[in-house]
Each structure stands twice: as C-alpha cells, then as structure tokens.
C-alpha cells in the first residue's frame, strides 16, 4: 500500500448526473472527469447538493439522470459494495463494540480476504494513519481525531479505486482539524488514491485539493485549481465563497476602451466610484456586484475629509480585531456601507482612513447570476 493502488483505470467520469427528490432538484447536469490519483473537493454552502453528489457516487442514492464510469466500466447501476470505493463519513460510523483492528479488518473480511493477509493489511493501514499502538482499543477509548483516523484506515485498507470523504473533519475542534488536514494531505501524497472530498470550508478545500468544484443550487458554478478559483472566481457567488468578503452593488457608468485588453470598467455606487475589471461581459448601465478581498484593500490614514481620489474610498474605523500577524478591521463609508479590510497596524476606532484597491483586484460581475450560464464558467476554467 505504498504506491498508487486501487486497480487499473485512467479516469472516473461523471456524465450529466442528476438527482431529484420529488419536486426538488438536488443535483443537475453534473459533469466531471477525475483523473486517477487526483484529489477533488466538492465545495459549496449547505443544501447545494454536495452530499447528494457523493452519495450518488457511493451508490447510496440511485441517479435520476446521467451515468458514472470508472475507466470503461459503467458503475452507476452497481450496488455500493461492488463499486470498490472507500467511504469516510463525518460521523466516523465505526462499530463501537469492535476493536480498532477489527473495525479496519471488517471490509477485508466481507471481501473474503484470508486471515494472514488481513492481519498484514490492517497493520499496514494502521501504520499509515499512525495508530499502530491503538489496535486493541475500542473506538470509545479514542479521541475524535483518532476515531477519524480509524475510519480513514478502514476506507484505505480495501485498496479502493476511489475514496469518498463527506466532511470528515467537521466534528473535530480547530486544532485537530488542522492536524488531520495535514494527515489527509500526507496520506494522499503517499498513496495517490483518487479522492473526492466534500466540504463547505473553502480553506480546507483550497489546501487539500488538486481541483475544486463549486456547487450552488445543485449546479456546478466553476471547476478549477485552487489558484484559479482563488484569483479568478467566475461569478460573484463563487467570489463570495472564496473569501471576497466585500460585495459592493454598483452600476456600470462607462466602459473604458479596453486598449490594454484588460477589461477595465468604471462603476458607480451611491458613495463611491471605482475602476474595476469585468469578469463577465458588462455594458454601461448594467447592474453589477464588485467583489474585493479584505487583503486587497490598502488602508492609509487620512487627516483630511476631502474628496476621494481614483479608486480610493473614505471610511471610518468601527471595529479592530487582532488576528496574530495583522488586524481585521471593519470600516463604514459615509453612505453607511460596511467594508472589511486587513491592516498591519491597528487603526484607531473612530478615525478616518482611505482604502485603495488596484483595478485588477476589484472584480466586476453581472449581479443577476441567471444572466450568466454556469456551464460557461465550468468549461472556461476546467483544464
Ligand atoms: P449540507 O452541507 O447541509 O449537507 P449539501 O450541500 O450536502 O448540504 P444535499 O444534502 O446534497 O446538500 O441537499 C441538496 C438539496 O436536496 C437540498 O435542497 C436538500 O433539502 C435536498 N435533499 C437532500 N436529500 C433529500 C431527501 N432525501 N429528500 C428530499 N430532499 C432532499
């Protein structure tokens, strides 16, 4: 179990997969090709269809549309146990009355693997998750993080073609969650197992995955590498999810001739004018939403309350929070808008500051998401 395992196949192909529950469409038109050995994160807010997608892959839910293939084999009609997938749940789902070793051995016994081979593979799996000295304990005698390691060992011991993980770190406290994140990354680097990982935590997804799939209302919004999603969200919804905390509603005042080919547009809100970069096609008069990350708003002291210069917003400091290396600051514009910024220094509460943003870091999106076909984004960004 020290090299890529899980049988021969090139890719897992999810083709136009959909799932309805009565009148509710939980997942629609889901298309994704996962290369063998890839780590994919399915990301999105509660109710976006992440678990539905994972349960369709696991065989716990039949599809109402589409197909799933592993290599040339169609698997969506197979029962879960015939798919050769390992599953890790948020709730660990261990057998409380079986020891750690017996929990891990369970899947092998179900597959009729012999006793000595089972012992060898269980020992190896427990070594990989660093639990070799806990083999005879019961799950109730372990910490949450250790129990989740047992669940991971149980999933990988069968040398699955694909590992499916459904929010595996959600029940752990902040410190353990970080430790287990590193552990999962390390295991993936060691074993190269094809992994599909569901989370609502963008930081977790960005740090673990080779590619991210962002879902909203059962539809794929964007597929891309962590850097592609971090730097170039395809619509404001994805931007919101990727930490662009400042979403400013504005109207396109004029399109600047894009001589530089960078799609610069001028937008105006009640209390500010900005030069930004259009991500979607926009025209003068369009209602847009400008997305700016807190780290992209440069904070400067202002001793005068004069008119604001280009791409500079005047605001008053309301809340300052110390966050280790920097301060998270909430400010309010004269128009009453709250903005979130980062600052190396602690500005004084009640003081006036000037915020400046580079036009390339003020992303201008069509406000009406329905005016932008989600599939366009998926295709545009998928590699
Ligand atoms: P969470 O993070 O809260 O688990 P999710 O992104 O995993 O959310 P799903 O659980 O896949 O979302 O749900 C997607 C949609 O399908 C939701 O509107 C949900 O209410 C609906 N849904 C899910 N399971 C069922 C079911 N068994 N019966 C009816 N509707 C369901």
State residue 5's pLDDT score: 45
Site to substitute for ligand 1 among 18, 45, 51, most atoms within 8 A of C-beta: 51
For residue 215, give the ligand 1 atom closest to its CA: 6
Q: Which of 10-24, 211-225, 242-256 has the lowest mean pLDDT?
A: 242-256
State residue 376's pLDDT score: 40
Per-residue pLDDT tens over the stretch 272-331: 889 999 998 888 899 999 999 999 999 988 765 455 567 888 999 999 999 888 999 999
Q: Which residues line ligand 1 (CB under 6 A)?
A: 21, 24, 26, 44, 46-52, 200
Rounded distance from Cα 259 to ligand 1 centre (Å): 47
Name, in order, each residue with C-beta under 8 angstroms of 282's C-beta and a sequence gap of 6 or more. Answer: 252, 255, 265, 288, 364, 366
Q: Whose CA is nearest to atom 14 of ligand 1?
A: 49
pLDDT above 60 (res 379)? no
Per-residue pLDDT tens over the stretch 342-365: 999 999 999 999 999 999 999 999
**CA–CA separation, 42 and 165 (whole Å):** 10
Rounded distance from Cα 172 to ligand 1 centre (Å): 22
**CA–CA separation, 251 and 268 (whole Å):** 5
Name, in order, each residue with C-beta under 8 angstroms of 83's C-beta and a sequence gap of 6 or more. Answer: 58, 59, 70, 75, 161, 162
**CA–CA separation, 136 and 122 (whole Å):** 12
Per-residue pLDDT tens over the stretch 46-80: 999 999 999 999 999 999 999 999 999 999 999 99
Q: Report yes or no: 357 and 300 within 8 Å, Cβ to Cβ.
A: no
Identify the residue with better confidence: 128 or 341: 341
Rounded distance from Cα 49 to ligand 1 centre (Å): 6
3-state secondary structure of 155: helix
**CA–CA separation, 290 and 250 (whole Å):** 7
State residue 348's pLDDT score: 93
Q: Where are any strands of DSSP class E within 183-244?
A: 194-199, 211-216, 219-224
pLDDT above 80 (res 1)? no
The pLDDT-based confidence of 199 (bands split at 50, 70, 90) is: very high
Site to substitute for ligand 1 among 26, 42, 218, most atoms within 8 A of C-beta: 26
The pLDDT-based confidence of 144 (bands split at 50, 70, 90) is: confident
Q: What percent of the chain has pLDDT over 70?
A: 91
In this prediction, residues 242-267 reach a mean pLDDT of 80
Element (H, E) at 342: strand 338-343
pLDDT above 60 (res 377)? no
State residue 93's pLDDT score: 85
Site to substitute for ligand 1 among 19, 50, 57, most atoms within 8 A of C-beta: 50
State residue 81's pLDDT score: 87
State residue 260's pLDDT score: 53
Rounded distance from Cα 266 to ligand 1 centre (Å): 40
For residue 51, give the ligand 1 atom closest to its CA: 7
Rounded distance from Cα 347 to ligand 1 centre (Å): 43
Does the model's ipTM exceed the 0.90 cut? yes
pLDDT above 60 (res 10)? yes
Rounded distance from Cα 131 to ligand 1 centre (Å): 34
Site to substitute for ligand 1 among 48, 52, 167, 204, most atoms within 8 A of C-beta: 52
pLDDT above 80 (res 372)? no
pLDDT above 80 (res 95)? yes
Identify the residue with better confidence: 254 or 379: 254
State residue 272's pLDDT score: 86
State residue 43's pLDDT score: 95
């Amino acid at each position: 179990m020290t090299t890529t395992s899980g049988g021969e196949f090139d890719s897992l192909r999810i083709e136009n997969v959909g799932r309805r529950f009565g009148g509710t469409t939980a997942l629609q038109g889901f298309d994704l090709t996962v290369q063998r050995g890839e780590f994919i994160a399915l990301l999105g807010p509660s109710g976006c269809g992440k678990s539905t997608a994972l349960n369709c892959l696991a065989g716990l839910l039949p599809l109402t549309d589409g197909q799933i293939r592993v290599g040339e084999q169609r698997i969506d009609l197979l029962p879960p146990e015939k798919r050769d997938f390992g599953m890790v749940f948020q709730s660990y789902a261990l057998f409380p009355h079986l020891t750690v070793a017996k929990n891990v051995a369970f899947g092998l016994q179900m597959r009729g693997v012999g006793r000595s081979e089972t012992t060898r593979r269980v020992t190896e799996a427990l070594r990989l998750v660093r639990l070799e000295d806990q083999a005879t304990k019961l799950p109730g005698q372990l910490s949450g993080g250790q129990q989740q390691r047992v669940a991971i060992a149980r999933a990988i011991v069968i040398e699955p073609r694909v590992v499916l993980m459904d929010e595996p770190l959600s029940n752990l406290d902040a410190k353990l969650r970080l430790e287990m994140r590193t552990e999962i990354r390390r295991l993936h680097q060691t074993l190269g197992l094809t992994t599909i990982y569901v989370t609502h935590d963008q930081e977790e997804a960005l740090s673990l995955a080779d590619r991210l799939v962002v879902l909203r209302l059962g539809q794929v919004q964007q597929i891309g590498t962590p850097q592609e999603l971090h730097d170039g969200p395809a619509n404001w919804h994805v931007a919101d999810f990727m930490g662009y905390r400042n979403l400013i509603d504005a109207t396109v005042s004029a399109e600047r001739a894009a001589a530089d080919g960078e799609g610069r547009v001028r937008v105006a809100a009640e209390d500010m004018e900005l030069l930004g970069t259009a991500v979607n096609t926009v025209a003068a008069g369009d209602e847009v939403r400008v997305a700016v990350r807190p780290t992209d708003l440069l904070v400067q002291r202002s001793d005068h309350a004069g008119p604001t210069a280009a791409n500079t917003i005047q605001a008053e400091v309301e809340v300052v929070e110390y966050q280790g290396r920097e301060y998270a600051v909430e400010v309010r514009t004269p128009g009453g808008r709250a903005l979130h910024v980062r600052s190396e220094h602690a500005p004084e509460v009640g003081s006036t500051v000037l915020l400046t943003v580079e036009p390339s870091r003020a992303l201008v999106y069509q406000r009406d998401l329905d005016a932008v076909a989600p599939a366009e984004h998926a295709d545009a960004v998928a590699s």
